[in-house]
Structures are given as C-alpha cells and as structure tokens.
Amino acid sequence: MVITDFLERNARLWPDETALVEINPSEERDAAVTWRDLSLLGETSSDTPYRREMSWTQFDKRANRFANLLLSRGIKKGQKVGILMMNCLEWLPIYFGILKSGAIAVPLNFRYSSDEIEYCLDLADIEVLVFGPEFIDRIELVLKNLREVKYFFFVGRKDIPEWAESYNELVNYCSKEAPPVLNEPEDHAAIYFSSGTTGFPKAILHNHKALVNACVVEQKHHGQTRDDVFLCIPPLYHTGAKMHWFGSLISGSKAVILRGVKPEWILRVVTEEKCTIVWLLVPWAQDILLDIESGKVNLNDYLLDQWRLMHIGAQPVPQSLVERWLKIFPHHQYDTNYGLSESLGPGCVHLGVENVDHVGAIGVPGYGWECKIIDEQGNKVKDGDVGELAVKGDGVMLEYYKNREASEESLHDGWLWTGDMAKMEDGFIYLVDRKKDVVISGGENIYPVQIEDFLSAYPKIRDVAVIGLPDERLGEICAAIISLKDGETATEEEINEFCETLPRYKRPKKIIFDKVPRNATGKIEKPALRKKFCSTNLVEAQTRS
C-alpha cells in the first residue's frame, strides 16, 4: 500500500463528502484560485466570501490531472518536483499529484530567500517547480541560475510571469483518470528540508512506506474517526502539519486549512466548521491564552463543546502553558508530539492523551517506534542521565540526499541519532535541549530549555529564549532574551530575583528585553539571536557576576 491508495479509497467510498476547506479571513483575498475558476472546473465553493471547499472526488481528480500533466511533459518516476506555495486548497492535490505520477515531491519553505530557493532547487535536482504569486520576485532574482528546472507552473489567478505556465489552465485539459503508474512502498516519495539552523538546510529523503507509517501512527495516537474535523494552521511544507492531517486522510474526515493565526480567527473557525482537533504551535496557544485571560476574547461568543483534542509539537512546550490551558479548557484531551523531518514529522515520541499527569515529558515511544538515550559512543545511558535521543522505526529517513557524511553521522544500524539531548525517568522521556544549543559555562553543561521552561512561568513573560554568549572567564554565559506581555513592564533585578530558586550555575547572567523570533513552525531562531547579541563589547558591558 502507498499513501495515494487512501485518497482513492476515500473518493470511492465518500465521493461527495467534504475533504478539504480553505479559509482566508483577511479582507483582501490572495488565494490562488477564484470561486469562478473553481466553478469552471466543475468544482463547488461556499457562498461565504473567504471560504472554499473540495470533496474527496474533486481532490482525487485534481491530483490525477496534475499527475497526468507531469507525465505529459516527460517527467519520469524518481524525478523531483518542487512546491513553493503558501497554504491553500491547491497544495495537497498538487502534492498527491506528484506522488501519483511516480515523481518525488519536494516541499519548500515559504520563508526561503532567493539564495535559499536556488540552493534547494539545485541540491534536490528539481526539474519542475510549482509556485504561487508570492514568490515571483524571489524566483526572478535567481531565474538565470535555475537551468535544471525545465518547467515552472504558476498557481495564481492573474499576472502569470512570461517565463511560467498557468497551472490552473493546464490541469483542466488533462485527464482526471488515475495515471498508469505503479508505486511501491520502497520507492522514493518525498524530500523535506531540515530547518537549516546551522547554515543551508539538508535534504531529507523518504520513501512511500514512511508516508504510510506517518498515517498509521497519527491515527493510532489521536483516534481520528469520520466524525472528526481537523484544523490545520501550520505550513504544509513542514512535515508536522501534513503528517497530522494524515490522520484525517486515513479516517476519511474533513480538514480545514486556516490561513491566519489570530486567536479570534482560530476560535471562530473551530465554531463555524465544528472542529474537533486542533494542532497548535506554542506561540499560537500562548496568544489564545493571553487574549482569553486579558478579556480580549470572550469564550461565550464561541461554540467549542465539540473541540475534544488540542495538541502541540515542533518545539519544547512549557509545562506552565499546558497547565493554564487545561484550567480554561478542562474537557480537552492534550498531547505533546515529538518528531523530526528525519523521522517524518510527529509521532516517534508522544505524551499520549492518557498521560496528562506527566506533562513536562515529551512522552513514550510512539506507535511502532523504539527509543533509547545514548552516550557519544552509542551506548545506552542509565535512567536519569542525560544523553542523545535515538529513535528507530519505519519513518526514519533513507538518507540526507547527496550528503553521505551527514547521513553516516546520523544513521546507525537503523537508528536515527536525533541531536536532541534527553533523559528517561520512570519510563517517560524528557527533552533537555538540542545538542548544539547546550551552553558550557565554567565546565558545567547548561540546557537552555530548562531555564526557558522555568522563566515562562513568570506571569509577566510572554516568550523567552536562552542562548549562550561568549565570556572570557567562563567560556560561555547564559543570556535570557525576554518578551513581555502587552502592557507589562519588568526590570532585570525583578527577573534575577525570580531566578534565585534556580541553582546558581543555571541562573542567566544576562537579561535582555527584546522580541523572541520564531520561524514558521514555532521554533526559536537562536542563530539569529546569537548573531544579534554576540558582540563582545555588549557582553562585557552587560555581564553581571
């Protein structure tokens, strides 16, 4: 079985039922296709100005049309097709069309600069690029260097670049029947890019078996049924959002793609679409809580009784955030999900809705996964000791594409060494920090996540990041970059006093009040913070003993 089999099954069993909904609450529509375009294609849409929907039959036919377009252009099994688009109704049918053609789908981060786009297209040997209107200028800056890209398909309603072709027009003239391509579980299916926190991103190669494994794991963990409605907010280029949606795919249930993260938008869509499952990133959950606690959002204005599960992943989750959430939403099930693009997204470790009393841990091995905590030689460490988390299962990547050295560093006899430091206590895994983010101060290993979790409980703090900065005497010191809640003020002395319950060596030696930058998947952009604050003069001027 391959993942496209689920789509074809859903189209056969529930042809007219809603598969996908796109909602764009912004006043000015910037979606890729207008409602008139959809009607010309024989597809329906809601009368609501910012809402579009697609049935399972329409989804499957659109995927078939794009697969046949690729085949008509001579794209063969194993060739690479890039997707550079914002979340929209077309995204998933394009992705599945690539898979149905036998080609390899390569989603690209919509935040990439021109240089990063060029780098990734070259690294992944991309021959077809499907892109949205937001990326015309970035592509044009490097267009002359993209000699290996044979076809550019533009997903938009107007102003088609002269160097590209209209996806919307072309697919309408292609067959809606399934293409004559047989995919096997071991065939290459997708390339995802790492977050690129240490430079340009690495290309991560997966097969069809890994995609199916992600479907099964997600459904096993969260029990999706055909009555569920999943709200998808994170970017679809990332493994997390899409792999959580895979639970909807395997259960044949509706999913809603929301193009926006404002708390009132999220709560309104949960109400109007009767969403039952919402996956959030830490900043979005934090924003919802702040708006509720401040009175900006009145929960009586929404109908949320059907919302049964809120889960978070992609970055460490402060225990205090979950505790605040469950006070406001005591009927919610909660789950923490841990995963990497190298393990095809979420699920290799998860807390489990039944283990909410262990909030603070990332959880236990996911369905079908094995986990262990190891030292630098790969030996298992004692329970309670900190080591590197290693995972093993059908979702582990095949390799870092065209990077043998990095592959050999991370893959060992089927085990993926994650680069995350963790410990095992009473059968539960606790994430300590990224290996590369550990601060060594005066010979002591300090794990910033632990300090971030501690500081996040301070009532005035909205967000916090802890990084290591160079210090002549100690080698490194911990600096806490703190973003305060709206309307709040605080002093360095006040924060230092709060930190007095921490062991002395863990207390931040420097407090900086500033914005905490996060990427599209909610992870703190620590390289940007180091670059901004690693001035030797700044450190010496503000370091306190």
In order along its 545 residues, the chain shows pLDDT tens digits of 999 999 999 999 999 999 999 999 874 444 443 333 333 333 444 444 489 999 999 999 999 999 999 999 999 999 999 999 999 999 999 999 999 999 999 999 888 889 889 999 999 999 999 999 999 999 999 999 999 999 999 999 888 999 999 999 999 999 999 999 999 999 999 999 986 544 678 999 999 999 999 999 999 999 999 999 999 998 999 888 888 999 999 999 999 999 988 999 999 999 999 999 999 988 889 899 999 999 999 999 999 999 999 998 766 677 888 999 999 999 999 999 988 899 987 789 999 999 988 988 889 999 999 999 999 999 999 999 989 999 999 999 999 999 999 999 999 999 999 988 899 999 999 988 676 777 877 666 787 888 888 898 899 999 998 888 887 666 678 899 999 988 899 999 999 999 988 878 788 999 999 998 887 666 787 778 888 887 543 444 343 32
**368-384 b/e with 16+ CB inside 10 Å = b?**
ebebbbbeeeeeebeee
What is the end-to-end Cα distance of the chain in Å, rounded? Answer: 61
> Amino acid identity, residue 258?
L
Query: Strands 510-513 and 475-484: what pairing?
Result: parallel
188 forms bridges with which residues in the sheet?
207
What is the pLDDT, as a whole number, of residue 504? 80
Question: Kindly report the CA angle at 206 between 375 and 13, in degrees rounded to 5?
Answer: 130
* Percentages of the chain per state (helix, strand, coil), in multiples of 5: 35, 25, 40
CA distances to 19, 159, 372 from 415, rounded to whole Å, are 36, 48, 9
Query: pLDDT (tens digit, 9 = 90+) per residue, 422-477?
Result: 999 999 999 886 767 778 776 667 878 888 888 988 999 999 988 888 876 666 78
Backbone angles phi, psi at 29, to 5 degrees: -70, 135
| CA separation for the pair 226, 10 (Å, rounded) | 11
What is the pLDDT, as a whole number, of residue 520? 66
**Residue-wise DSSP of 482-500:** EEEPTT----HHHHHHHGG
CA distances to 186, 325, 359 from 341, rounded to whole Å, are 18, 27, 24
Question: Domains of the chain by range and CATH?
Answer: 4-8+48-212 (3.40.50.12780), 438-542 (3.30.300.30)
What is the pLDDT, as a whole number, of residue 35? 32
What is the pLDDT, as a whole number, of residue 370? 96
Q: Is the dihedral of CA 223, 229, 233, 236 positive or negative?
A: positive
| CA separation for the pair 13, 37 (Å, rounded) | 27
**13-37 b/e with 16+ CB inside 10 Å = b?**
ebeeebbbbbbbbeeeeebbbebeb
**Residue-wise DSSP of 366-387:** PTT-EEEEE-TTSPBPPTTS-E
Residue 190 near residue 2, CB atoms below 8 Å: no
Residue 230 near residue 256, CB atoms below 8 Å: yes
- The per-residue pLDDT of the chain, averaged, comes to 88
Residue 107 near residue 235, CB atoms below 8 Å: no
Greatest extent of the chain over all pairs of C-alpha atoms, in Å? 71
Total-model pTM: 0.83
> Amino acid identity, residue 380?
K
Across 254-332, where does the E strand assignment appear? 254-258, 277-280, 309-313
Across 304-453, where does the E strand assignment appear? 309-313, 333-340, 345-350, 364-365, 370-374, 387-392, 399-400, 411-412, 415-425, 428-434, 439-441, 444-446
In percent, how much of the chain has pLDDT > 90? 66
| Residue of 15, 168, 193, 143 whose CA lies nearest to 88 | 168
Residue 387 near residue 374, CB atoms below 8 Å: yes
Question: Kindly report the CA angle at 415 between 410 and 417, in degrees rounded to 5?
Answer: 40
SS3 240: helix
Residue with tokens 């949320």, as numbered in its chain: 304
